[in-house]
Amino acid sequence: MNLTEPFSWLVHLITLFLLTISIVAGAVAAGNNVILKPSNDVPFSSTLLEDLFSRYLDPAVVSVVGPRVPGDGIDVMTALLAEKFDFIFFTGSTRVGSIVAQRAGAKLTPYALELGGKNPVFVTPTADLQIAAKQCIWGRTLNSGQQCIAPEYVLCHHAILGEFTFELKCWIAKLISDPYSEGCMGQLVGGGSVARNATDRAVRFLDKIGTAGEKLVCGGGYRKELGMIEPTVVICGWDSELMQDELFCPILCVIPYHDLKDTAVMVRFRPKPLALYIFSRSTIEQRTVLDNTTSGGVTINGVIYHAGHSSLPFGGVGESGSGVYHGRHTIDCFQHKKPVLKKWRGVGDVGIISDPFFIYGPYRNGGMKTKLLRLVGYMS
């Protein structure tokens, strides 16, 4: 018999509104009590979460902490991690995720981490370039690029580089004709200090274009007062500063490649991404990338879709996280599978089957007990 039981008390450290609702729902459905610490980078959403949960749910089941505490939230998070919980779920950066993992490890607390990273897109010569370009622009500008599964950079075969970048520019013009208009692309969000301000951070990335041979294809503009930058496409190399950290804004890097397998191997030796995307009509090319890379999940001939499929587990690997959830997998994430075996006793067999004599010592090499034990071992 295999029983599942809730972890009981878990703490949930997270940024995004929609993710918060779905994960808390799964944790409660699994039988847990939840302490939720939303991000201070989204104060209005965090305050709304606190109001909604306190209004509709018993605070003994779900409690929200931190939204009305002044500061950047680090003090609240530090205080929470000093406590002993049965499970920790964290969504955020790899840097903070490593801190959460260290604090959890010190108390031997199990955890799940959904982090991020630089998600690559492979565009091969057999790809439908219109679909590839449209999907890349859609995925990169959705929520202004502020998604852990957004395409970060494109590895495009050198023979189709010109045609592909032309398609990128066309789809930006069609999908994001005026990036500064309300509701077109969304604002960059992030705290008040210069170090944490998302718009200032994105502008610093724009300022790096051209410093190491990068070529601006389109975009590059911004309006700080609106917290927005234009969809920007940059051709660059592996050594560009734009390829060092997760950008988390609508800047799309394009790197030309010559050999698909060699390029896939290069991706494999970089920090493992949360998502990976392949645009190719060739099954051989698709398998070449899949067999030579590691990532949390993959969509072929599209972006983001695998994360929206409720039947598929979603999660990272290595630097992009650990543990999986979504749909039924969310409940499984927050439950412990406890095996239970019940032995039959007093069934009238005089112990021949229910309590066989040969499981007890002493044993002699070549003796009957030893032979019977080996026979049972072969049969099991």
pLDDT (tens digit per residue) in 140-188: 999 999 999 999 999 999 999 999 999 999 999 999 989 998 878 888 9
For residues 188 and 151, what is the distance between their CA atoms, to the nearest angstrom? 17
Output the pLDDT for position 194: 42
Give SS3 for 89.
strand
Which residues, at least 6 apart from 327, have a Cβ–Cβ distance to it below 8 Å? 310, 311, 312
Tell me which H or E stretch contains 21.
helix 17-29
Residue 5 annotated in active site: no
Catalytic residue of the set 50, 114, 152, 230: 114
Average pLDDT over residues 362-377: 90
**Unique residue bearing structure tokens 């077109």:** 184
pLDDT interval class at 326 (50, 70, 90)? very high
Which residues, at least 6 apart from 359, have a Cβ–Cβ distance to it below 8 Å? 373
Cis peptide before 250 (omega within 30 of 0): no
Nearest to 141 by CA among 223, 241, 249, 279: 249
Catalytic residue of the set 148, 156, 249, 333: 148
| C-alpha torsion angle, residues 279, 280, 284, 285 (rounded to 10) | -60
Report which residue type is found at 125: P
pLDDT interval class at 343 (50, 70, 90)? confident
Residue 353 pLDDT greater than 60, yes or no? yes
Contact 277, 122 (CB under 8 A): yes
Phi, psi of 336 (to 5 degrees): -100, 130
Contact 31, 5 (CB under 8 A): yes
Residue 148 annotated in active site: yes
- Cβ neighbours, 10 Å, residue 229: 27
> What is the pLDDT of the chain when averaged over all its residues?
92
Average pLDDT over residues 198-222: 96
Instruction: Supply 259's token pair.
Output: 């050999």
Tell me which H or E stretch contains 322.
strand 321-322
Instruction: Supply 313's token pair.
Output: 């587990």
